[in-house]
Amino acid sequence: MDDIVGRLAPWRRSLRVKIIVPYLILTLVVAVVSAYVITRVFTISSTKAYETRLFESTAAANDAIVQHERQQLAFWRQLAFTAGVDEALATADRAQLQALLEPLYVNARWDRVEIVSSNGDNLLLLDGSEVNTIPANYEEWELVSVALEDPAIRTVGLQTIDNEIILYTAGAIQDPQTAEPAGVLLVGTSLGTLAATIETDVLAGITFYAASGQPLATTVGDYWSVLLENDLATDIARQSAEEQHVRSLQLDETGYTQLLTPFVLNNGQPSGLLGVSLLQSDLATPLDSTRTALIVMFTIMTAATLFIGYILAKSIASPVTAIAAAAAEVAKGNLEVQVDVRTEDEIGFMGQRFNEMVTQLGQRHYIEELLGRYVGKNIARELLGGHADLGGQRVWATVLFSDIRDFTTFTESKDLNSLMDELNEYYEEMQDVINEHGGVINKFGGDSILALFGAPSAQPDHAQQSIRAAVGMMHRLGFLNQRRASRGLAPFNIGIGICTGEMVAGNLGSTERREFTVLGDTVNTASRLSDL
């Protein structure tokens, strides 16, 4: 035991341990408390956001049903008021009815269009299938009887056809001669189709229930898995439209949260229940991600604490003072200073890093001096990346030359401040377009712009980009002139010349001030083209 204590004694006296341990304990305490608080707050926030999304999805689903009914009614009116439909219905002309309405049906998205005579006979059925299933009991349909009794109303309701629930909009069409109901026009959509459409719109599962709790149509699982108990369905059906019920569903290995609300059609009659479902994983996944992120973050914090404590423990006064003095020299602008590194420990490493930093600052200072001799963001970027060769060379590139027409007349009516402001606004718009297409503005010449594509750096499609830039400049000029017109200013009219060819590109100037430029017939040709 004494041997163990003896081996541990140096660590107890070590400055590194004395600094690291308090920081480590503090970090762990902060990590635990922060993890609890952040997790708690995020859980509450995520749960509230999840519930809000569920309620908003339900409201959006109800709105989508109302909108669907309106669109279906609008299509009913389009069919009913198609010229010749009332006469064909009055004479029971099936062929004429089909000829008039089938093109409209084909171009629409409704599942069924049916016309029933006042005697209950089917005169037309359009449902997109090769073999039409014609119901034999139209006279028993409440939709049909209500429409025939009162031709002025349009009613909606659900009807079962071959085990499929159809949402119909129905109304009578009057005989043009007698003004008596000649028959009933019905436009219908399958509840399955409607549920799928709403699911796409609100990004939530949709289930329609009968008042008994029997599913009528669903986009979530199968019918048996979403079945409602009769007592629960009855209680929910008795609630007002503002009251809602939330329950959990487990379909195979997937959990859902479902919000149930009464399903009321436009006729005001309760037609069952509407269920809107969200994946429970939408709530669990963010919580899991947050927990993982906290673990990673606090692990990094702990590691950083250990590292910082270690560096602080190794901060010996003499080397640190030397580095501080050298740093003061750097702050004065002396980039020739170097730290005398005599050790290979952490302090020596710090000194080496300091020397490397000073060297890099000197190189950076040189680059900044070089950039001061040039204009244009693209050229500067190429210089910093080491991709631009700005020595004199022959290049194959494209020149875009643009100038403002009637500039002399334009300047005569302007004071200097207004002239500079308007020109700066114009150049700002043109520069943005040229930059977007990889161009480099070589110079502004009062009323002109000389832009390069393919120089000083290579650009394989420089000719195409210059043309796109010219089109973009004209497009942008149109918006600029609209703004100028709103301020009572005359529009700018410009000419643009583009020429692709060989030219000499390189630096011109003195050692104090250089300018990258291009020379040759290509440049002159672009200038002359802009005057045409």
DSSP string for residues in 454-497: S-SS--TTHHHHHHHHHHHHHHHHHHHHHHHHHTTPPPP-EEEE
pLDDT at 317: 47
The answer to whether residue 449 is domain-embedded is yes
pLDDT at 384: 52
419 and 503 fall within a common domain: yes
The answer to whether residue 7 is domain-embedded is no
Diameter over CA atoms, the chain: 120
The answer to whether residue 3 is domain-embedded is no
How many other CB atoms are found less than 10 A from the CB of residue 354?
A: 20
Per residue in 360-415, pLDDT (tens digit) is: 766 666 555 554 344 455 555 555 555 545 556 788 999 999 998 888 777 777 77
Of the candidates 451, 410, 408, the residue with the CA atom closest to the CA atom of residue 427: 451
Q: Which of 193, 220, 252 is the last residue of a domain?
A: 193
54 and 87 fall within a common domain: no
Average pLDDT over the chain reads: 79
pLDDT at 372: 39
306 and 338 fall within a common domain: no
Q: For residues 453 and 5, which has the higher predicted lDDT (pLDDT)?
A: 453
Q: Which residues make beta-bridge pairs with 263?
A: 272
Helix (H) or strand (E) holding 65: helix 15-80
Domain CATH code at residue 174: 3.30.450.20
309 and 319 fall within a common domain: no
406 and 509 fall within a common domain: yes
> What's the domain range around 37?
15-66+280-313
The answer to whether residue 298 is domain-embedded is yes
Q: Which of 276, 297, 330 is the last residue of a domain?
A: 276
- When pLDDT is averaged across residues 330-353 and rounded to a whole number, the result is 70
Is the confidence at residue 78, as pLDDT, over 90?
A: yes
H helices present in 150-250, as ranges:
191-202, 230-238
141 and 181 fall within a common domain: yes
437 neighbors 532 (Cβ within 8 angstroms): no
Q: For residues 451 and 338, which has the higher predicted lDDT (pLDDT)?
A: 451
Is the confidence at residue 86, as pLDDT, over 80?
A: yes
Residues 80, 319: Cα–Cα separation, whole Å: 95
pLDDT at 319: 65
Is the confidence at residue 530, as pLDDT, over 80?
A: yes
Is the confidence at residue 511, as pLDDT, over 50?
A: yes
Per residue in 160-209, pLDDT (tens digit) is: 888 888 999 999 999 898 889 999 999 999 999 999 999 999 989 898 98
Residues 150, 425: Cα–Cα separation, whole Å: 68
The answer to whether residue 443 is domain-embedded is yes
pLDDT at 377: 52
The answer to whether residue 488 is domain-embedded is yes
Highest mean pLDDT: which of 42-56, 306-320, 436-450? 436-450
34 and 118 fall within a common domain: no
Is the confidence at residue 15, as pLDDT, over 50?
A: no
- When pLDDT is averaged across residues 47-75 and rounded to a whole number, the result is 89
Domain CATH code at residue 357: 1.10.8
pLDDT at 473: 92
Cβ partners under 8 Å of residue 320, min gap 6: 347
515 and 399 fall within a common domain: yes
Of the candidates 463, 444, 440, the residue with the CA atom closest to the CA atom of residue 452: 440
Confidence of residue 257 (pLDDT cuts 50, 70, 90): confident
Q: For residues 203 and 265, which has the higher predicted lDDT (pLDDT)?
A: 203
Confidence of residue 100 (pLDDT cuts 50, 70, 90): very high
Indicate the range of 124-128, 267-271, 420-424 predicted with least confidence: 267-271
DSSP symbol at 447: S
Confidence of residue 304 (pLDDT cuts 50, 70, 90): confident
- When pLDDT is averaged across residues 290-300 and rounded to a whole number, the result is 73
pLDDT at 320: 61
Tokens of 96: 């004429």
Q: For residues 513 and 56, which has the higher predicted lDDT (pLDDT)?
A: 56
% pLDDT > 70, the chain: 74
Confidence of residue 251 (pLDDT cuts 50, 70, 90): confident
Task: Say what angle helices 346-371 and 317-331 make with each other, to 10 degrees.
Answer: 10
The answer to whether residue 10 is domain-embedded is no
284 and 233 fall within a common domain: no
413 and 451 fall within a common domain: yes
Q: What is the pTM of this model?
A: 0.50
498 and 422 fall within a common domain: yes
Q: Into how many domains does the chain fold?
A: 5
pLDDT at 284: 66
H helices present in 275-387, as ranges:
281-313, 317-331, 346-371, 377-385
Helix (H) or strand (E) holding 106: helix 94-107
515 and 412 fall within a common domain: yes
Highest mean pLDDT: which of 130-144, 210-224, 296-310, 463-477? 463-477
Q: Which of 139, 167, 193 is the last residue of a domain?
A: 193
The answer to whether residue 71 is domain-embedded is no
